[in-house]
Amino acid sequence: MINTETINIYGQTYTLHPTGSVYWHETEMLLIADVHLGKITHFRKHGSAVPLSATQYNFTQLDQVLSYFEPKVLCFLGDLFHSYINSEWLLFSEWLTKLSSEVVLITGNHDVISAVKYEEINITVSNEWQIGLILLTHIPEVRKHAFNIAGHIHPGIQLKGPGKQSVSVPCFVKKSNQMILPAFGTFTGKHILVPDKEDEIFAVTKDEVICCT
């Protein structure tokens, strides 16, 4: 069973999902950050012993969350593809043909593939996207009169148990003017944060989003 968390930002409703994605109800849009497709193939090519099955896991996760929300729009908040075109691009292109959702890419620092290539497979590419007071970017920004939703950081948090055991997990970080999504992709790593007092932290496990504040 999947357990989500639903929050309200500037009068808009968002559901946080254990995959690290966010569904924006009013726009019927699914937000996903930092998939880093192609990274596994890239590292395997350079001798890293990464299991090939990890590649399929990304697509399985995408299928599951799309089936759960059935969004009209799928918006990738940057770093969709980790490097230049490799064999995973073909898998991704084929996967896209099965989608009914409109697909938008907000470009990230790893998105070095030409926008023309994305447009050829029916993906709209933009540097940012502002909808009302909500600003969608890859790198977190602070901008006047806007609430920013972004990725890039791969945030994580260390949870401690009563027996002094601890585990680090991905997390959503919500500030007064910003929310940062965890990385969606497998084999992406995470940056363990020390939250500010006013931050709202939502830890992510395999099946659950847990409010930690």
Residue 17 belongs to what domain range? 5-211
pLDDT at residue 47 tops 50: no
Give 183's DSSP letter. Answer: P
In the numeric block, the tokens 């050829």 are attached to 120
Full-model pTM:
0.92
Q: What is the CATH number of the domain that holds 172?
A: 3.60.21
Give 73's DSSP letter. Answer: E
- Please count the other Cβ atoms lying within 10 Å of the Cβ belonging to residue 172: 25
pLDDT tens column, 161-190? 676 677 899 999 999 999 999 999 876 678
How many domains, in total, are found in the chain? Answer: 1
Q: Are 104 and 128 in contact (CB under 8 A)?
A: no
pLDDT at 49: 45
Residue 75, SS3 per DSSP: strand
Determine the Cα–Cα distance for residues 191 and 171; give it in Å rounded to an integer: 10
pLDDT at 44: 44
Determine the Cα–Cα distance for residues 37 and 55; give it in Å rounded to an integer: 8
Long-range CB pairs of 170-174 (<8 Å, 24+ gap) are: 170/20, 170/203, 170/204, 171/201, 171/202, 171/203, 171/204, 171/212, 172/16, 172/20, 172/22, 172/201, 172/202, 172/204, 172/209, 173/199, 173/200, 173/201, 174/7, 174/9, 174/199, 174/200, 174/201, 174/202
pLDDT tens column, 79-133? 998 676 777 888 899 999 999 999 999 999 988 899 999 999 999 999 999 999 9
Residue 7, SS3 per DSSP: strand
What pairs with residue 209 in β-bridges? 204
